[in-house]
A and B are shown apart, each in its own frame.
Chain A
Amino acid sequence: MRFMVMVKATKESEAGVLPSEQLLADMGRYNEELAKAGVMLAGEGLHPSSKGARVKFSGARRTVVDGPFAETKELVAGFWILQVKSKEEAIEWVKRCPNPMEGESEIEIRQIFEAEDFGPAFTPELREQEAQIGAQMAKNASR
């Protein structure tokens, strides 16, 4: 199973303060450990929300709001995708992570949906439809 492991933003990360050399080195070592254990599928750091935007939906209307965004602690500053055996294993790996920020910080662990997790909601009809879209695309391509 896979988990998205998200580092939450702080005032400093939102202000664009870059991690210290020491933290970068520690993080590099940690990433290497994850990769060597065969559990890390991907991982990236994110720019502050001032460089981002939001698209808000209301019925058929879309409104674009540029960053930065206020609720710092709810923002994501970076993430990993881990492939592990259980949530407990994901937790154990995250406990081994160096503190990603200088002071207080938080890392959130969320399981990624796999096709089989959808259960009855992902009905055969829905799957069929997806398959038909694929088949149609293939047909269009061969024209």
Chain B
Amino acid sequence: MIDRTIEAVWKIESPRVIAGLTRMVHDVGLAEDLAQDALVAALEQWPQSGVPDNPGAWLTAIAKRRAIDLFRRNERLQRKSELLGRDFELQQEVAQPDLDAIADDQIGDDLLRLVFIACHPVLSTDARVALTLRLLGGLATEEIARAFLVPEATIAQRIVRAKRTLAEAHVPFEVPSGSDLAARLSSVLQVIYLIFNEGYSATAGDDWLRPALCEDALRLGRILAGLMPNEPEVHGLVALMEIQASRTRSRVDAAGDPVLLLDQNRTLWDQLLIRRGLAALARAEQLGGALGPYALQAAIAACHARARMAADTDWGRIAALYDALAELAPSPVVELNRAMAVAMAFGPAAGLELVDALTSEPSLKSYHLLPSVRGDLLARLGRMDEARSEFTRAASLTRNARERKLLLERAAASSGSQVL
């Protein structure tokens, strides 16, 4: 029982503790190790002493003391002036009696620096994801491993290597500025959205949804929106995730099979999350400027969210938003979605024209959604034989077992309709 309480306190406090420690010791890996030491101390002491009134300050104080011990030991061994300097800084930090006196601003700044370190481009994408969940999400290695269906040792090693890479590259503990900021922020947003998508439409395994990961990503997004309230794309990403998460309950049926957006029971959509998503989108729009790729995707999701029934969907507006997205962030996948919207707004023949232009696109060669969408349009044009072979091809390409089943059902249904 007390262990679960400590786990909860850790989830709440660890990002701030690690961020503050990183500022002091200039090494995120060491900071995390020190924070882990403090966690071990809490697990030893709190069952007897109870949880202290200010557990975050308690954890920080213990970790700082460990840091000083460590630097003194190193100093005796190495006598390095640089370390002496750090020791002095640390003593000043520890001498500060009231930890609450550290301004909220300072904590926010440190947290934001930690976000940018965890998503630093010197790391592989996998490493960024693991480190972000670990440092900012407060997830244990074992939780991350379970979420991504990989062995715990793999994640542990990934995190160790990431910390070493950051130390070797002497990545500074700072918020990037100027022209750097846009690119670095886009890496942060990408990592958060990757985590969300891993939960929302699992790329591997039997389950199509892992809601806990969606919640982790949403939480990270909301935290980032609090830290960077003037960045429209942060609100855009939050809006996109809130609206997509609002459909969690209707995206799979009782058997656990995926239900397509237009077939979903909209009365199951979570109106609270939709309201939050629309509010976040409004903030992104109020901040001015042209909408970025996340805000545009959120605006598209908002069109669906606002339609009480699938038949009410404003496909003309969605097609226009996809036009803007295709111009801003052109990709075959966006083009494929644009084709779908065009088909809905202006008929399957117009959509099929756009899709056919994509069939020679090498990056889509093994992308299951291309034959899936093409099959859908062909079926609507009554070209059932072609539709069936496209659905069958799509089924052979997807890595998700439940999605494969759905596609095979559509293939079978296509031959059924042909008889009629």
B254 near A88 (CB under 8 angstroms)? no
Q: How large is the interface on A (under 10, 10 to 19, 20 to 34, 35 or more residues)?
A: 20 to 34
Which chain A residues border B276 with CB–CB below 8 Å? Answer: 41
A92 near B5 (CB under 8 angstroms)? yes
B210 on interface, CB distance cutoff 8 Å: no
Q: Which of A89, A115, A141 contacts B311 (CB 8 A)?
A: A141
Which chain A residues border B309 with CB–CB below 8 Å? Answer: 137-138, 141-142
A53 on interface, CB distance cutoff 8 Å: no
Query: How many angstroms from the CA of A123 to the CA of B255 in the assembled complex?
Result: 11
Query: How many angstroms from the CA of A31 to the CA of B198 in the assembled complex?
Result: 30
B184 on interface, CB distance cutoff 8 Å: no
B20 on interface, CB distance cutoff 8 Å: no
Which chain B residues border A25 with CB–CB below 8 Å? Answer: none
A107 on interface, CB distance cutoff 8 Å: no
Query: How many angstroms from the CA of A76 to the CA of B296 in the assembled complex?
Result: 40
At the interface with chain B, which of A7-15, A56-64, A67-75, A127-135? A127-135
Query: How many angstroms from the CA of A137 to the CA of B279 in the assembled complex?
Result: 27
A55 on interface, CB distance cutoff 8 Å: no
B272 near A41 (CB under 8 angstroms)? yes
Q: Is the interface of A mostly helix, strand, loop or mixed?
A: helix
A42 near B272 (CB under 8 angstroms)? yes
Q: How many whole Å from B208's CB to the nearest CB in chain A?
A: 14
Closest residue on chain B to residue A122 by CB atoms: B254
Which chain B residues border A115 with CB–CB below 8 Å? Answer: 249, 268
B8 on interface, CB distance cutoff 8 Å: yes
Closest residue on chain B to residue A35 by CB atoms: B226
Convert B1-45 into 0s and 1s, putting 1 for each residue whose CB lies closer than 8 angstroms to a CB of A. 000110111011000000000000000000000000000000000
Query: How many angstroms from the CA of A2 to the CA of B311 in the assembled complex?
Result: 32
Which chain A residues border B343 with CB–CB below 8 Å? Answer: none
Q: Is the interface of B mostly helix, strand, loop or mixed?
A: helix
A138 near B255 (CB under 8 angstroms)? no
Convert B212-223 into 0s and 1s, putting 1 for each residue whose CB lies closer than 8 angstroms to a CB of A. 000100111111
Kindly count the residue-residue contacts between A and B in the assembled complex, taking CB atoms under 8 Å apart: 83
B356 on interface, CB distance cutoff 8 Å: no
Closest residue on chain B to residue A96 by CB atoms: B12
A86 on interface, CB distance cutoff 8 Å: yes
A133 near B267 (CB under 8 angstroms)? yes
Indicate whether A36 sits within 8 Å of B5 (C-beta atoms), given known contacts A81-B272, A134-B267: no
Q: How many whole Å from A138's CB to the nearest CB in chain B?
A: 5
Q: How many whole Å from A25's CB to the nearest CB in chain B?
A: 14
A39 on interface, CB distance cutoff 8 Å: yes
Most buried by B among A38, A128, A141: A38
Query: How many angstroms from the CA of A39 to the CA of B220 in the assembled complex?
Result: 10
A124 on interface, CB distance cutoff 8 Å: yes
Query: How many angstroms from the CA of A131 to the CA of B311 in the assembled complex?
Result: 16
Closest residue on chain B to residue A116 by CB atoms: B211
B7 near A88 (CB under 8 angstroms)? yes
B174 on interface, CB distance cutoff 8 Å: no
B312 near A141 (CB under 8 angstroms)? yes
A83 on interface, CB distance cutoff 8 Å: yes
Which chain A residues border B128 with CB–CB below 8 Å? Answer: none
B267 near A85 (CB under 8 angstroms)? no
Q: Which of A92, A133, A135 contacts B12 (CB 8 A)?
A: A92
Query: How many angstroms from the CA of A130 to the CA of B244 in the assembled complex?
Result: 20
Indicate whether A86 sits within 8 Å of B4 (C-beta atoms), given known contacts A38-B219, A141-B312, A142-B311: yes
Query: How many angstroms from the CA of A85 to the CA of B267 in the assembled complex?
Result: 26
Convert B274-316 into 0s and 1s, putting 1 for each residue whose CB lies closer than 8 angstroms to a CB of A. 0010000000000000000000000000000000111110000
Query: How many angstroms from the CA of A10 to the CA of B268 in the assembled complex?
Result: 36
Query: How many angstroms from the CA of A13 to the CA of B268 in the assembled complex?
Result: 35
Query: How many angstroms from the CA of A135 to the CA of B310 in the assembled complex?
Result: 10
Q: How many whole Å from B229's CB to the nearest CB in chain A?
A: 10
Query: How many angstroms from the CA of A104 to the CA of B415 in the assembled complex?
Result: 70
Q: How many whole Å from B332's CB to the nearest CB in chain A?
A: 31
Query: How many angstroms from the CA of A23 to the CA of B218 in the assembled complex?
Result: 30
A-to-B contact residues, CB < 8 Å = 35-39, 41-42, 81, 83-86, 88-89, 91-93, 114-115, 123-124, 127-128, 130-131, 133-135, 137-138, 141-142
List of 3 A-B pairs having minimum Cβ-Cβ separation, nearest first:
A134-B265, A38-B222, A36-B226
Can you identify 5 A-B contacts, CB atoms within 8 angstroms?
A: A35-B222, A38-B220, A83-B218, A124-B255, A131-B265
